[in-house]
Structure 1
């Protein structure tokens, strides 16, 4: 991993934050961080939990962890203490890296961070994976996802064979979080490997993104999620942007009206990527020629089974007990509805088959939210659905108010996971066999 990510000339620029950070500086910072991690107790085959916002400190500690020969556990900095404590108890890292000071404001994409390292458990890592990610923040066995160093290296090489990715000497305007797979591999690791400059805008705002594009002469690809497309589509540029090469998006499907508004405004290709935390990039249409279809990425097999997309995956990516409903016999069951064209191999994703939804580009599992609501004191039963936003229907077991529910949930769930609407219902609808009804119409009726 070290040779893949930190090779090249010492004077090559890796980041512009907005000050340039070259490879020589990055290597020195990584070596220093490795010494601090070792002094705090990190050993080869151990694990370091990184609870940090996207920042140079996050990148340095991630690379230092791998250089040690240890596992990196990536914890989204927006998770609550309750969620983090559950994850740490399950994954038992040797050290935890977290900010002791940060600055720059809440809209900064890369934050100024001074980190602290504390010891946690004197144990080896729970698995041999190079990285652990928590899909939707759950610690259930089918939600803790591990990827090996070989798997990550293979995906980094896969990017180099994709037609339309940023090339050496170009720039990536980096918008998605580097804690999650699109920003981590498609942005950070691809950029470090190929010599593409990574340029996080100073703020998460349309004018700041356009300013980052205009700040250099080399071609620029904006990497983001559909939320960012909408942000740019509603921002009027103040002048020509000849550097703007294309925008590439991952995450949920982009509404056709938003895609049209973006391309009408900027006249550059709007590329699409489809992937999962478990396997990384699965397919792409980086020139926007086949929207909404994508072509499978090199080395990835995709098949359609009873309307569900299955993706080739040699080993189960899940840490702990493996659900055969999610992975079996070398195939990951994506729980995405879709089709595969028999003649061209093009894949069309139709949407989710299960309870996972996307909120502002971040995946949220409604089952996790529902379980958290149902476990609250004073709650007899709960159903959580997505009805224009995360909506919870709650049957009280005694005195209970929406304000109290919201307060309790704020202690247990990250802000993007919390229900935007809460309904207290005297009796939740059930089937004749006693199962809770999940029909949005039936739940709306019960609430009124």
Structure 2
């Protein structure tokens, strides 16, 4: 749910025009029935894989080598800027599609980007391949990215959220590592961890600019956590949980002054990584992609022990739920090597991602303890990660029920973010911000005829 420019909507529209009528001809190509598979004939096939990750830093080159050792007739050619910028990547992907470039595989960092491209027939349905392999996505993976009864992707990494805390700061404040806590208790921790020291004030917590930090209480609910409910048309904005979310932000930034002020975040272009690792903030709500970094990197060595706590609840009796996002891997509908592309996706999302040792897999049969050991083995200072608290969080949090929002969801998110920015800058109260956001999102729903 990251911010996304209006130009994306224009690019999508252009591609939609260029792809009208192209569709995905599953009756001819989905199972390779009209052409014997290259796997059977052992023909050499090169697949172009579009993504945003750095092949060396994120160990993708190890993945390609392992796959090609097992399937020597299939070569993976990476097409990436290598800058880990998933937003700019989308523009490059859409431009390549509009230009008629070879695309075989692609990846999406959020379900709405996947939904956008499924809506314009850019993605190949995988249902026939899945049926042939004899499994159900919901049984194999924590995320089931089905859209209108069809599956256009398999989930790779599972992005769950938790809280990272500076152990030294906790000890200094006489606080224990939380194992089950509420947002009210989180705010209390933030207040006690805040330390005033003139210009070098240390804040108890830091919230980044992304829209999900304006929906903290609703974000990790088991169902209906998006701005629209699962039917894709009923608004989910003016809710008690959204009101609670804004109260959390207001309490931390305006009352307790225990969170880095939003005005300071945007004016100084602050980022959560340096704020946490430079010890200017004692705890951050973040995703499990930060596990290896908690153990330090060559650029930012870990100088203190990080402990982990579950994502906070709204009420004590609530389940210990957490976000359940995923990188989604799809086959391009115009690929000439769809079966081979699916073969790589299935292999990577089950075997490859585990040996890669960078991400927590969505694959339910993955050995999470081994994956985390592999992640920490890549860290510069793995001893700075409290593995006991980390494993407790990973084993006890319940992933929310995964769902895919409508293709126009990104527009709704942009309008929501604009109103939340006004609230966080003190220019609107919570009720006004939510009311205005709801009105704008309703217009988007109406204009899409849903």
When normalised by structure 1's length, the TM-score is 0.25
Higher percent of residues as helix: 2
Higher strand share: 1
Q: Which has the higher contact order (CA 8 A, sep 6+)?
A: 2
